[in-house]
Structure formats: C-alpha cells, structure tokens
Amino acid sequence: MPWLEPIARLIDAGGVVLVGIAAVAALLFSLALERVLFFRLAYRGARQRLIRRWTARADHHSWSALTLREVWTRQLIARLRRPLPWLKLLVALCPLLGLLGTVTGMISVFDSLALSDTHQARAMADGVARATLPTLAGMAVAVVGLLFTSRLEQIIRREDQRLHDRLARAVEESDA
C-alpha cells in the first residue's frame, strides 16, 4: 500500500519508537491547536458574558459579592488552564521516548555487531546514527511543546490579571 510507505521509511530510519514520538507529537500539537481555537473562539465570548453578568449585579462591594467574583473568574481561568497538565505530560514524555529509541537502537547495533564476525566501523556508525535519531526527534518535539506550554502559561497569567482588572473597571464605570 503506497500510503504506508512513509511510515515504513520512518520505522526504518529510527525504529518503532519514532512512530510513537510522532504519535505523541500529533497529540501534543492537536491539543495546542485546540487551545488556540478555544482562546480565540470560546474564551473571549465567555469572558464578555462574565463581565456583563458581573456588571448586571447590584452588589459589587460586599464580601459575598467579591467572593462570587473570584469564584467566577477562577472557573473561567480553570477552563483556559484545563489541558495544561496533559500538555506538560506529553512534553516530558517526548525526551523519554527518544531515549528509549536510542537505547533500543544501540542494543540492536551491538547485537548485530556481536553476531557478525567482522567489526566494520562504518556499519557501527550507521547504526549509531540511526539509534540517535529518536533522541533528536524527541528533544525537538519537547522543545517546541515546551515553548508552547510556557507561552500558554504566560497567556493564562495575563488573562487572569486582565479579567480582574476589567471586572474592577466595569464596577467603577457602573458606579460613576
């Protein structure tokens, strides 16, 4: 089947673990895309609804009103933060899978060298290069995932502060 040829080449180049790294990368980047779409499409509307609901209240200054505002903002920020632990787990999993691919690749290189009577340096160099490919792939995916995760955490902190500021400003404007 022609559509399986790239997967066969991927397995040949770096082993079965490289396919696992590709699957984790696909899951990681699909979660990242989902967060971008959630932030652009759903979060902004939910934030506006929360601000309208807060300004529609008559009481803004009592302890119970401030507690309710805090609960509402924490719930909205929690929706934004929801997949963050999964993203962090997938980022941490990528280098480990790369290391697993390297170890299994090196075992197969040494196994093939032990079975052959000739000790060819070129064959060993090719095997070592093939064994280190999963580490490179795992680290590359982890670095990109780490960049996205840290950017998402920065956005969440900024949105938390902005939401509190907007709610306070909305109260000031309604009192004036």
Taking only the tens place, the pLDDT of each residue in 14-59 is: 778 888 999 999 999 999 999 999 999 999 999 999 999 999 988 8
- Domain limits, the chain: 32-175
Q: Which pLDDT tens digit goes with each residue over 132-151?
A: 889 999 999 999 999 999 99
pLDDT given at position 126: 73
**Mean of the per-residue pLDDT values for the chain?**
88
Q: What is the mean pLDDT of residues 162-167?
A: 91
Q: pTM score, two decimals?
A: 0.82
The 10s digit of each residue's pLDDT in 77-124 is 999 999 999 999 999 999 999 999 888 888 877 777 777 666 676 667
Rounded distance between C-alpha atoms, residue 9 and residue 88, angstroms: 29
- Dihedral sign (CA 74, 75, 80, 85): positive
* 3-state DSSP of 19-39: HHHHHHHHHHHHHHHHHHHHH
Interacting residues of 135 by C-beta distance below 8 A, sequence separation 6+ = 95, 98, 99, 101, 102
Average pLDDT over residues 163-168: 90
